[in-house]
């Protein structure tokens, strides 16, 4: 199992809570380089970015590399992987990485795989890349059940709320 899932196992093995993603980002960049991406680097927001192909049409495949805090021992039991981020969202990110490497360069296309930082907090990585790319297609690797594809994402809204009331019994 390990050779077919080396990217997934390696990525899940990197503990990467929001704000401390750098080792996982460095690991993913090195993995992209080893898989033959034309360019793999860490951008100014701290995202892992891998590019393959140089065509004028672009496909962005973005997943987040951070997780919520808390370590879960990485293990495979009865064919199932356990470990922080194995579902949200290191699995889609590993899939994107391996799929692009397996597909290789296609005439007229550029594939960009992004492991975005800070999604579990303020989406700093995605906010950084949004104005920098104009893709023909973008796929976000955010899981939403196993049996469907989401065509939209609600996101989150943050607010500070203060309630003032007179005291009474």
57: Cβ contacts below 8 Å, ≥ 6 apart:
108, 109, 110, 136
The 3-class SS string of 64-120 reads ECCECCCCCCCEEECCEEECCCCCCCHHHHHHHHHHHHHHCCCCCEEEEEEEECCCC
**DSSP-based helix, strand, coil % in the chain, nearest 5:** 25, 20, 55
pTM of structure? 0.86
Closest CA to 129 of 49, 67, 65: 49
Could you tell me the two tokens for 145? 């059940």
Which tens digit of pLDDT belongs to each residue from 91-113?
999 999 999 999 999 999 999 99
Which tens digit of pLDDT belongs to each residue from 33-92?
999 999 999 999 999 999 999 999 999 999 999 999 999 999 999 989 999 998 888 999
Point out the residues that are catalytic.
66, 119
102: Cβ contacts below 8 Å, ≥ 6 apart:
none
**Domain boundaries defined on the chain:** 6-140
Distance (Å, rounded) from C-alpha 151 to C-alpha 32? 28
CATH 3.90.850.10 fits 6-140, yes or no: no
Could you tell me the two tokens for 15? 């503990």
Distance (Å, rounded) from C-alpha 103 to C-alpha 109? 12
Which tens digit of pLDDT belongs to each residue from 2-27?
568 899 999 999 999 999 999 999 99
Distance (Å, rounded) from C-alpha 134 to C-alpha 132? 7
């Amino acid at each position: 199992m390990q050779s077919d899932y080396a990217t997934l196992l390696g990525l899940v093995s990197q503990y990467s809570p929001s704000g401390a993603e750098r080792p996982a980002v460095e690991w993913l960049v090195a993995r992209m380089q080893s898989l033959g991406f034309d360019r793999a680097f860490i951008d100014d927001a701290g995202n892992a970015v891998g590019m393959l192909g140089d065509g004028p049409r672009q496909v962005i495949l973005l997943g987040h590399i951070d997780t919520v805090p808390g370590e879960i021992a990485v293990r495979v039991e009865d064919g199932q992987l356990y470990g922080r981020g194995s579902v949200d969202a290191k699995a889609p990110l590993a899939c994107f990485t391996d799929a692009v490497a397996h597909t290789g360069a296609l005439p007229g296309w550029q594939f960009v795989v992004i492991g975005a930082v800070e999604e579990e907090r303020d989406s700093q990585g995605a906010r950084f890349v949004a104005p920098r790319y104009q893709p023909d297609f973008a796929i976000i690797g955010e899981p939403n059940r196993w049996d469907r594809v989401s065509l939209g994402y609600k996101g989150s809204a943050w607010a500070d709320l203060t309630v003032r009331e007179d005291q009474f019994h």
